[in-house]
Amino acid sequence: MKSLRYVMFLIVVFLCVPASAQFVDDFNALSLAKDPQSMKGWAFFTGDGAATVDFQQGNGFASIMVDATKDKRGIWWAVIKRCVSADLDLSLVEKTGYEFRIEAQIRVSNAPRRVNLSLNTQRTTDYHSNLMEFDIPDTNNWHTISMTTKDFDAKPGDNVFGQLALMDWGIGKYSVDVNYFRVDIVEAASAGSDKGVQLPYRPPIPDPNTFENVIKAAQDSMVDAEYPEINFNNWNTVDSTGKVNLLNVNGTQWVIMRWDLNAFAGKKVAGSGLLELTTWSMQKLSEEIKDFGQVRIVEILGGDPDWNQQSVTFDSLCNGQPIDEVFNSQMVIDIGVNQTPGGKTLITISNPVLQRMVDGRTLGLLIRPLGAINASFYSMENQAGKFSPTLRFNLQK
């Protein structure tokens, strides 16, 4: 049953907003309206992998159910989509200051996880310009998320589609419950703030010099899934200067890193931060294949929180826990590596991930391959830590 608070919300919505300026589905019907073309009901589909999706009516809410157990690379996406423009007066968006606002209230089966909301039309070619990701921190609560467009290209006569998507959650079975889904045309200046923890999709890399806190890794090492009982901290090569310790990423070898952030306990992180790695060498295919030949940055959520680089192994790090409980199966970000020896790879670390690290809920970061790649980075042992994996971030004043 809907909460009293939500019922009051709907009453206010229907009394205060003209019907011509709003689409809402509160999923209280006996069955879910479905339409593969998304014009008169919900369409749902997947891509970039072997995942399947279903969208079903529940008791006062609807559920997106994804089965990715046959997927291999973990790059799938699943979308629900609905044409909302039949219930909207699109002449409003021709007025100065009016925009679309898309909103949903959701509950997720696994956390932390990200979902995204987006809007597009039959003329859209850039599907990311009006898309926003949201960090969902828990599985127990309903979370309201919303996005207001900016200069969205829609006009009378267009078909406007609202979408909710989940991407790259892992190779398992997952669900997102949707309590309601709503799209309005609003006067942006007076509509109030959007809801939820927003994460712009693929934000530009900020200048490293804009961060006040520059923290070198306290521990860095490698684990090998093929040799889970062996410590690989002394992985090295030799050049003209002598021995060089390395952090290697390939099909079975993953890099693990953690930082001592105790000095920041109780503080709030401001904005996103950066992870900085220094390349020793990198090899990949010269052909460009979508989502192939990159590295995947992952949160370490469980296992041994006090692992030591001199003794850690794959088995000791996991400490008897399932891999999906130790490593978040949804990545922080996938990114290409700077191939130039000595070059810097700068990786955006989102605010929620940084905050979980400061709070001690995320225990460190892991780097694994996305596709076939062999990348080596300098470890902290070299030149008194000169090339250590480095975390950069700011705190709220």
pLDDT for 13 beyond 70: no
Same domain as 105, residue 239:
no
* The residue type at 298: V
Same domain as 144, residue 102:
yes
Same domain as 190, residue 51:
yes
Number of folded domains that form the chain: 2
pLDDT single digits (tens) 73-130: 889 999 999 999 998 999 998 898 999 999 999 999 999 999 999 999 999 888 788 9
The Cα–Cα gap between 135 and 334 comes to 16
Same domain as 226, residue 78:
no
Same domain as 132, residue 149:
yes
Mean pLDDT of the chain: 92
Domain end marker among 171, 200, 229: 200
Same domain as 223, residue 191:
no
Query: Across residues 293-300, what is the average pLDDT?
Result: 95
Nearest to 114 by CA among 202, 44, 193: 202
CATH at residue 116? 2.60.120.260
> What are the phi and psi torsion angles at 344 (to 5°)?
-100, 130
Same domain as 231, residue 167:
no
Q: What angle do CA 248, 252, 255 make, to 5 degrees?
A: 40
Same domain as 173, residue 74:
yes
Same domain as 292, residue 164:
no
Strand partners for 120: 161
Nearest to 47 by CA among 11, 77, 6, 85: 77
Query: Across residues 202-211, what is the average pLDDT?
Result: 90
Same domain as 234, residue 164:
no
Domain end marker among 150, 173, 200: 200
pLDDT single digits (tens) 23-47: 999 999 989 999 999 999 999 999 9
The Cα–Cα gap between 319 and 79 comes to 36
The Cα–Cα gap between 274 and 214 comes to 9
Nearest to 42 by CA among 52, 53, 51, 33: 33
Q: What is the C-alpha end-to-end distance of the chain, expressed in Å?
A: 42
Do 206 and 198 touch, CB atoms closer than 8 A? Answer: no
Same domain as 284, residue 256:
yes
Nearest to 356 by CA among 137, 134, 199, 114: 137
Which pTM does this prediction carry?
A: 0.90
Q: Is 79 helix (H, G, I), strand (E, B) or coil?
A: strand
Q: What angle do CA 91, 93, 94 make, to 5 degrees?
A: 70
Domain end marker among 169, 200, 231: 200
Same domain as 303, residue 274:
yes
Strand partners for 184: 22, 101
Scanning the structure block, which residue is given the tokens 């009051």? 8
